[in-house]
Chain A
Amino acid sequence: MASNVIVETRNLTKVYRDFWGRRKKTALRALNLQIKGGEIFGLLGPNGSGKTTTIKLLLGLLFPTEGDALVLGEPAIQVNKNERIGYLPEESYLYRFLNAEETLDFYGRLFNMKPTQRHKRAAELIDMVGLNADKKRVLKEYSKGMRQRIGLAQALINDPDLVILDEPTSGLDPLGTRWMKDLILELRKQGKTVLMCSHRLDDVQDVCDRIAILYDGELQELGEVQTLLEDAVRLEVRASGVKMTEQLRADLDSVLRKHGGTLESFGHPTTTLEDLFLHIVEESKARPGRRYLPPTETKKDSAPETLPPGAKSTSIKAQK
């Protein structure tokens, strides 16, 4: 295993069997992949593709039928490696009779953390995930989003080198999702390696450096996000300071034809719904009296609504 490789699987295969040992399903077939240190790696695939199986094999929750999995240089079934791993499961599987402080204290005790260190770390994490006001409430009173946050806090209690997140944004509202993504990026800045598994492709696209796509237990695609998503056949040009007119369109078409291409589309670019939502929420916080006004009620002399950045530029797409 190369020195910078944090996770490596070699021919990793998992076949589920019934009580009598009969083959039920091949969940994973001969998976070969490497995750390097300091990157955010995304594991994608439809339901039943083997994403969760892969994660469980890496965590030692399952035993491989064939092949090997090495995590932080040790076999995945070794318990020692868990000292440097943090895991956030898809559902926040925490003890609902404990409150937030007790939860983090319990998990902290499972590592070699001194009491003062444990208490300090727990306080920091509770503050980081924004649960200070609710730290004395038992987890069964928490909402899904709050449970997800405390789940993340327990995953980070030991300041792990490798953080494994299974559907980290599941159940979170857009604000929470943004917060989670920012946190994941922050983890990378701290030099940690993040392995995340998600159905939400936009989230993966926003944060991941590399991704693997699984289907029916087999690796279908592996590579850097940017490279995989790049459409090498098309060209995109953005411009500002011009109005969208037929003349402009005709002129652009002429230029592109001169270079052997064709104009495919011509119009204003759109921002993402997430950005719009976040922008509106921030505006609402800044201006408490703000409310929606239908177009007929808008006064002619009223200041135009501030739009999210990039909303006024013009976008042209052309094909080579």
Chain B
Amino acid sequence: MQLTTLLFGSMVQEAVPLQLSDWSKYLETFAQDGGGFALLGIWFWLLVTITRSATPQFRTSRGLQFPVVILGIALVSSALYAGGWVKELFASRNVGEQIKATSAGLLDIRSYSVWGNRLMTLGGVVALAGVFVPFLFDSRRLRLRRIWALARLSFIEAVRRRVIWVFLILLLLFLFPPKWWDPTIKPEDEIRANISVIYTAATPLLLLAAALMTAFSIPADIRNQTIHTVVTKPVEKFEIVIGRFIGYLALTSLVLGAVTGFSLLMIYASRVQEEAREESMKARVPLYGQLGFMDPTNPKFQGDSVGREWDYRKYIQGGPNSPQRAVWYYSDRDLDRSLASLPSVRCEFSFDIFRTTKGEEGKTLTCTFFIVAHKATKDVLEVAKRYRELTKGLSPTARPDGTPTEVQDWQKLDEIANNLGYYEYSTKEIVDYHTDFIPIPAGLIKAALEGSPGVFEGEGRNQVPRPRMQILVRFDSRTQFLGVAKPDLYLLAAEGPFWLNFIKGAAGLWLRLLIVIGIAVTLSTYLNGVVSFLATLFLVGLGFLRSPIVSMAFVPLLIPNSPEARFNPGPSDSLRKLISGEGLGTFTDTQTATQQVTQGADDVFRWCLRRLLNVLPNMERLSWSDYVGNGFNIPLEDLGLNFVFVAGYLSLWAVLGHYLMKWREIATW
């Protein structure tokens, strides 16, 4: 069955949404990376304190100062980190497992040693306790009413200084529908273009305004000495930091709210075209499975590359006799039980077609879909044969919302699918990069949800549950390749309201504002206004460019012992090759002493890049405008977890800001 209008409602999802089930990995990462920086801070403080008390020119009558407790914490944490690292080092020599990406969008370097990982996590926890416990102890003196007073002051100051209004006026120009001045926009792209313009304009303008206001506020207080009249009241210095943060966040949130409301009003008031409504003015709730590939003739088949630089998709070979399948596995956590109550379930998809020939004249490109519940997987060929026998004579256009005959046939199909746990939709016409769908009988979903699928047995795969349902796709067209990625096929669980999704999309920009204001206010406790502003822009700017840094920092680690890993595209080895006249793209199996040295240097370089990544905020991830523009629901789980991530990231900046304010003499700034 085909829609009268083909949709483009597909979405490229390069970053997998965060999932609550991965919470332990997130916490581990936070403990290890955050703890590392905390430990660094503790050692730095110890060095300064002990050196000063030991140096004659600094020494006071108090004599040599040895903060025993903090020193103990530093030593214990360092020992744990060192122990963990040593265990990892020895274990990594025997590694054979492949690195996989987690749902965090971080590259989860699978620990080579469980105990090594645990030791480093514990070391991180100890170091974090060393900085957080005194911070929390000091925080008991904070008072909400004083923070509120300071926040109110910041709010009034920002309003009366009028910085934000200038940016708002500039932004207003971009909030009107782009079709008013660009008639070439395709009807189905109307909403997508609108969203794109709004967020492309709002993001830099609001972030810049926030950074400007915040970075100069405390330095101006210090320069004008207005801070003296505040600090000589019963005000904790950190309350000034929090007050500024909350005040500016409140103002920018109000502005963002106004911008969001106005944009939404303009969208609804601008008579959206029918194609755009169908395409994007909704919030599809997709259920994604896990993508795999199958080829009985080649058990190691993981999808082919067709030579495209962008390796987002893998490809299967076409042809009615092709053994290659793309398979979406739906396990317990992927399959929502509410699907069983629907009359039918839409399976939407959008694939890429890679042509090696022009194709056969007069013939469209088609796919065949095989949907298999767990009870049918043991003897699927027999089940398929039985299914074809039972469905002979049924209308090929059977659907739940068709003519009475079609509805009747659909009901029979539903019963058959429920009994057998199998459903097939053959020769479904597909169009490159267009979204289409097939209906799946609810009876099949019920069959998939019944009973227990069991677990995989065998060495190394014990207790891994089998999927409840699989959707296999065969590309029927000869000499062509079908490109697939995990988000290219999904079950449509529900459709939410567009306006709510639009508001959720604005939350991404709000989270970015949170980061910019948090970083700027912390830096401004130590640096002057201009330097704080530039440093904030630098960190946030690099945060938008994480992907290239990630690829530089992690590539050789992704596939250990592979040619790519030995290729070692690091700066030291590249310099060696330039000097020696070797081709930059060559590598050899044997390694000279020089190569080993340069490899070591490049490993250090990549380690430093990974530490830089720990400091940089993940600004790339905090954007859901694609979801809104393409009509996909923003998962609350993803939004919520990203909020927690941002809070965790800013908590470390908050601790830094607290200690910077606490230890500095206000009157000498």
Q: Which residues of A contact B (CB under 8 A)?
A: 16, 21-23, 56, 59-63, 65-66, 79-80, 82-83, 85, 87, 89, 91, 93-95, 97-98, 102, 106-107, 109-112, 151, 154, 158
A85 to B233, CA, bound (A): 8
Q: A61-B666, A61-B667 are in contact. Are A79 and B234 (CB under 8 A)?
A: yes
Other than the known A93-B228, A94-B226, what 17 A-B pairs have Cβ atoms closer than 8 Å?
A21-B52, A23-B57, A60-B231, A62-B667, A79-B234, A79-B235, A80-B234, A82-B234, A85-B232, A89-B229, A93-B225, A95-B157, A97-B156, A97-B161, A110-B234, A154-B229, A158-B233
A273 to B148, CA, bound (A): 49
Contacting residues, chain B, for A89 (C-beta < 8 A): 225, 228-229
A-facing residues in B220-238 (Cβ within 8 Å):
224-236
* A110 engages B146 (CB within 8 Å): yes
A97 to B235, CA, bound (A): 21
Q: A66-B61, A79-B141, A95-B157 are in contact. Are A110 and B667 (CB under 8 A)?
A: no
Partner pick for B157 among A22, A60, A97, CB 8 A cutoff: A97
15 residue pairs of the A-B complex, CB under 8 angstroms, read A60-B232, A61-B231, A62-B666, A66-B60, A79-B236, A87-B228, A91-B225, A93-B228, A97-B157, A106-B152, A109-B152, A110-B149, A110-B234, A111-B234, A154-B229
Shortest distance from the beta carbon of A148 to any chain B beta carbon, whole Å: 13
* B60 engages A109 (CB within 8 Å): no
* A110 engages B225 (CB within 8 Å): no
A102 to B153, CA, bound (A): 9
Interface flag for B145 (CB, 8 Å) = yes
In the A-B complex, list the 4 residue pairs whose CB atoms are closest, starting with the nearest. A109-B149, A61-B667, A110-B233, A93-B225
A56 to B141, CA, bound (A): 22
A65 to B59, CA, bound (A): 9
Contacting residues, chain B, for A83 (C-beta < 8 A): 234
Q: Please give me the residue from chain A that is nearest to B57 by CB atom.
A: A23
Q: A21-B52, A79-B235, A82-B232 are in contact. Are A93 and B226 (CB under 8 A)?
A: yes
Contacting residues, chain B, for A80 (C-beta < 8 A): 234
Shortest distance from the beta carbon of B234 to any chain A beta carbon, whole Å: 4
A-facing residues in B146-193 (Cβ within 8 Å):
146, 148-149, 152-153, 156-157, 160-161
* A59 engages B226 (CB within 8 Å): no
Q: A21-B57, A66-B61 are in contact. Are A95 and B153 (CB under 8 A)?
A: yes
* A106 engages B232 (CB within 8 Å): no
A110 to B160, CA, bound (A): 21
Contacting residues, chain A, for B141 (C-beta < 8 A): 79
Shortest distance from the beta carbon of A243 to any chain B beta carbon, whole Å: 57
* A110 engages B665 (CB within 8 Å): no
Contacting residues, chain A, for B227 (C-beta < 8 A): 93
Shortest distance from the beta carbon of A75 to any chain B beta carbon, whole Å: 14
Interface size range of chain B in the complex: 20 to 34
Shortest distance from the beta carbon of B556 to any chain A beta carbon, whole Å: 40
Contacting residues, chain A, for B149 (C-beta < 8 A): 106, 109-110
Contacting residues, chain A, for B55 (C-beta < 8 A): 21
A154 to B236, CA, bound (A): 18
A151 to B225, CA, bound (A): 13
Interface flag for B668 (CB, 8 Å) = yes
Interface flag for B268 (CB, 8 Å) = no
Shortest distance from the beta carbon of B552 to any chain A beta carbon, whole Å: 34
Interface flag for B58 (CB, 8 Å) = yes
Partner pick for A110 among B61, B156, B157, B235, CB 8 A cutoff: B235
* B234 engages A62 (CB within 8 Å): no
Shortest distance from the beta carbon of B229 to any chain A beta carbon, whole Å: 5
Partner pick for A87 among B58, B145, B229, CB 8 A cutoff: B229
Contacting residues, chain B, for A151 (C-beta < 8 A): 229
A61 to B232, CA, bound (A): 8
Contacting residues, chain B, for A154 (C-beta < 8 A): 229
Contacting residues, chain B, for A16 (C-beta < 8 A): 668
* B58 engages A110 (CB within 8 Å): no
A158 to B233, CA, bound (A): 10
Q: Please give me the residue from chain A that is nearest to B235 by CB atom.
A: A110
* A94 engages B229 (CB within 8 Å): yes
* A98 engages B232 (CB within 8 Å): no
A158 to B152, CA, bound (A): 20
* B232 engages A87 (CB within 8 Å): yes
Contacting residues, chain B, for A56 (C-beta < 8 A): 667
* B229 engages A21 (CB within 8 Å): no
Partner pick for B233 among A63, A66, A82, A102, CB 8 A cutoff: A82
* A62 engages B665 (CB within 8 Å): yes
A62 to B233, CA, bound (A): 15
A60 to B661, CA, bound (A): 13
Contacting residues, chain B, for A23 (C-beta < 8 A): 57
A135 to B414, CA, bound (A): 79
Q: A56-B667, A61-B667, A95-B153 are in contact. Are A21 and B58 (CB under 8 A)?
A: yes
A59 to B58, CA, bound (A): 23
Contacting residues, chain B, for A79 (C-beta < 8 A): 141, 234-236
* B236 engages A93 (CB within 8 Å): no
Contacting residues, chain A, for B667 (C-beta < 8 A): 56, 61-62
A97 to B160, CA, bound (A): 7
A56 to B669, CA, bound (A): 13
Shortest distance from the beta carbon of B241 to any chain A beta carbon, whole Å: 15
Shortest distance from the beta carbon of A47 to any chain B beta carbon, whole Å: 17
A106 to B668, CA, bound (A): 25
Shortest distance from the beta carbon of B51 to any chain A beta carbon, whole Å: 9
Shortest distance from the beta carbon of B659 to any chain A beta carbon, whole Å: 15
Q: Please give me the residue from chain B that is nearest to A16 by CB atom.
A: B668
Q: Please give me the residue from chain B that is nearest to A17 by CB atom.
A: B58
A98 to B229, CA, bound (A): 14
Contacting residues, chain B, for A158 (C-beta < 8 A): 233
Q: Please give me the residue from chain B that is nearest to A97 by CB atom.
A: B160
A151 to B228, CA, bound (A): 12
Shortest distance from the beta carbon of A139 to any chain B beta carbon, whole Å: 11
Shortest distance from the beta carbon of A300 to any chain B beta carbon, whole Å: 59
A-facing residues in B530-555 (Cβ within 8 Å):
none
Q: Please give me the residue from chain B that is nearest to A88 by CB atom.
A: B229
A22 to B57, CA, bound (A): 8
Q: Please give me the residue from chain A that is nearest to B227 by CB atom.
A: A93
Shortest distance from the beta carbon of A155 to any chain B beta carbon, whole Å: 9
Contacting residues, chain A, for B230 (C-beta < 8 A): 110
A79 to B57, CA, bound (A): 29
**Residue among B141, B227, B228 with most chain A CB within 10 A:** B228
Shortest distance from the beta carbon of B65 to any chain A beta carbon, whole Å: 14
A89 to B228, CA, bound (A): 8
A80 to B233, CA, bound (A): 9
Q: Please give me the residue from chain B that is nearest to A82 by CB atom.
A: B234
Shortest distance from the beta carbon of B138 to any chain A beta carbon, whole Å: 11
A-facing residues in B228-256 (Cβ within 8 Å):
228-236
Shortest distance from the beta carbon of A106 to any chain B beta carbon, whole Å: 6
A196 to B667, CA, bound (A): 19
Q: A56-B667, A110-B234 are in contact. Are A95 and B226 (CB under 8 A)?
A: yes
Q: Please give me the residue from chain A that is nearest to B237 by CB atom.
A: A79
